[in-house]
C-alpha cells in the first residue's frame, strides 16, 4: 500500500493506493484501489493508441491498450469514494 500527501487548492489530503494480487483456480486476479477520484480508464474515451502506420506514440492511453489486449477481463467501479480496478488473466 502506498500513501502520499497531496495538496489541492482547497485542502491537503492523503492519497492511498493499494494493489492486491491473488490466484484463484487458474486465474490471476489483480485489484487496484485508489481514493484519488472517480475516473474510469476503460470508459468511452477517444483512443489515442499507436496505429500500425504511426511512428510516434501519442501521450496517454497506451498502457490501457496493453491491459485491454493482455487481460481476459477488466472492470472499473467507484464505490465508497474509491476507484476499484479489477483485472483477471487465465494462467493455465
Return the closest-CA partner of residue 71 out of 40, 33, 28: 28
What average pLDDT does the segment 37-57 reach? 67
Residues pairing with 49 in the sheet: none
Q: Please tell me the number of Cα atoms within 13 Å of 75 on its side-chain side.
A: 7
What average pLDDT does the segment 47-73 reach? 71
Give the pLDDT confidence score for residue 58 in this predicted structure. Answer: 58
Mean pLDDT, the chain, as a whole number?
80
pTM equals: 0.72
Q: How far apart are alpha carbons 61 and 11 in whole angstroms? A: 29
What average pLDDT does the segment 28-40 reach? 92
Asked if the model's pLDDT at residue 3 lies above 90, the reply is: no
3-state secondary structure of 68: helix
Q: Distance of CA 55 to CAs 32, 49, 58, 61, 86, Å?
A: 32, 11, 10, 16, 32
Amino acid at each position: 500500500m502506498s500513501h502520499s500527501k497531496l495538496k489541492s487548492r482547497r485542502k491537503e489530503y492523503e492519497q492511498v493506493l493499494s494493489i492486491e494480487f491473488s490466484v484463484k483456480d487458474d486465474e490471476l486476479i489483480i485489484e487496484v484501489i485508489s481514493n484519488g477520484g472517480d475516473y474510469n480508464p476503460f470508459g468511452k474515451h477517444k483512443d489515442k493508441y499507436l496505429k500500425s502506420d504511426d511512428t510516434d506514440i501519442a501521450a496517454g492511453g497506451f498502457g490501457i491498450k496493453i491491459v485491454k489486449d493482455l487481460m481476459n477481463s477488466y472492470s472499473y467501479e467507484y464505490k465508497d469514494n474509491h476507484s476499484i480496478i479489477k483485472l483477471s488473466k487465465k494462467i493455465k
